[in-house]
Amino acid sequence: MKHSMKEWLIAVRPWSFPASAMPVLTTLCYLQWSGKAEVNWLIGVWALVNIIVFHAAGNTWSDYFDYRRGVDTAETAGATTLTSGMFRPEEIRALSLGLLVVALAGGVGLMLMTDWSLLWYGVGGALCVLLYPYMKFRALGDVVIAIAYAWLPCWGTSLVATGQVDINTLLLALPLGCITVAILHCNNTRDVHTDGNANISTFAMKIGHGRASVLYQFYMFFPFVCVVACVVAGLFPYLSLLAFIALPNAWKNAALMRRCRVEDTTVIARLDEGTAQLQLIFSLLLSVSFIISSIWL
């Protein structure tokens, strides 16, 4: 079956890429502002592109197993590339494995040009991609996402771009990781019924709808608390408060979750996209604040 470029793009879910790309970009900008070491932006951009390819591999790998396990059906929200018949399962599986090979090759190139210890970050990323479906079905998907799209990108970017790991990049991994995990969490909250029918267990199912709603709202506002705390402690520049321009987006997302009821979750059918949009805006604002502060302040 021949597919158009648009269909291939739909298959990798590009709207979700801010979850992986923004931690890398924001880390590069933070490192530029901190001035602890010279930042190799060419290597940094390479790392940015590479993690997006990793992310695309993870998206399609997850979709393949969700479909095979019966988690994604014609009645569920979310990815429809398989449930609509647009792609055959073996096509999505081949796409995912091909993307993973490309990402691993890119990672090897980065390692050869920078530091051999990057190998462990690459192995960690590959394991996160391959094991994610297994972990997700056992209520551990949130942990995998936090590792793959917060801790690993921030420390890994620091290593390849400056030659050393800046521990303080965890100050970025915490707020950005909250928003990224929230993308998965709102999906799992939305899909509690269908996930239960597929006999899998997610963290949202474990804690129940009420607590899941409260946790999502925490994920929306805690990143702003982190920024304030870091500014007060002198760990971020004052301009980092620009991130509060994204607060209305967080409020809107939290309001949608508050309106959601366990018997009808359609109100949050597209909340994952809104959460990814928050990640994009919040991270870009932080990045801009770091760059401006590195130049003029």
pLDDT in tens, 17-72: 998 999 999 999 999 999 888 999 999 999 999 999 999 999 999 889 888 877 77
pLDDT at 137 over 70: yes
Q: Are 54 and 129 in contact (CB under 8 A)?
A: yes
* CA separation for the pair 293, 171 (Å, rounded): 17
Per-residue pLDDT of 242-287, as tens digits, reads 999 999 999 999 999 999 998 888 899 899 999 999 999 999 999 9
pLDDT at 157 over 70: yes
Per-residue pLDDT of 195-230, as tens digits, reads 888 788 899 999 999 999 999 999 999 999 999 999
Alpha helices (H) in the chain, listed in sequence order: 5-12, 18-34, 41-69, 89-113, 118-136, 141-146, 152-162, 170-190, 192-197, 203-207, 209-232, 247-259, 271-296
Q: How many CB atoms lie within 10 A of CB 9?
A: 11
Share of the chain above pLDDT 90, in %: 64
Q: What residue ranges do the domains of the chain occupy?
A: 17-291
Q: What is the pLDDT of residue 16?
A: 87
Q: What is the pLDDT of residue 194?
A: 80
Per-residue pLDDT of 250-261, as tens digits, reads 999 999 999 999
Alpha-carbon torsion angle 189, 194, 200, 206, nearest 10: 30
* CA separation for the pair 41, 222 (Å, rounded): 30
**pLDDT mean across residues, the chain:** 91
Compute the Cα dihedral for 178, 214, 61, 266 and give only its sign: negative
pLDDT at 73 over 80: no
Which pairs from 33-42 meet CB under 8 Å and 24+ separation?
Answer: 33/237, 33/290, 33/291, 33/293, 33/294, 34/166, 34/168, 35/294, 36/162, 36/166, 37/162, 37/163, 37/164, 37/166, 38/162, 39/161, 39/162, 40/160, 40/161, 40/162, 41/161
pTM over 0.85: yes
* Overall average pLDDT of the 95-122 stretch: 90
pLDDT at 163 over 80: yes
- Is 1.20.1340 the CATH classification of the domain at 17-291? no
b (16+ CB within 10 A) / e for 215-247: bbbebbebbbebbeebbeeeebbebbbbbeebb
* Overall average pLDDT of the 223-239 stretch: 97
Q: Are 189 and 204 in contact (CB under 8 A)?
A: yes
pLDDT at 241 over 80: yes
Q: What is the pLDDT of residue 77?
A: 65
Q: How many CB atoms lie within 10 A of CB 130?
A: 15
End-to-end CA distance of the chain: 56
pLDDT at 1 over 70: no
Per-residue pLDDT of 111-134, as tens digits, reads 999 888 888 888 888 888 788 888
Reported as a pLDDT band with limits 50, 70 and 90, residue 154 is very high
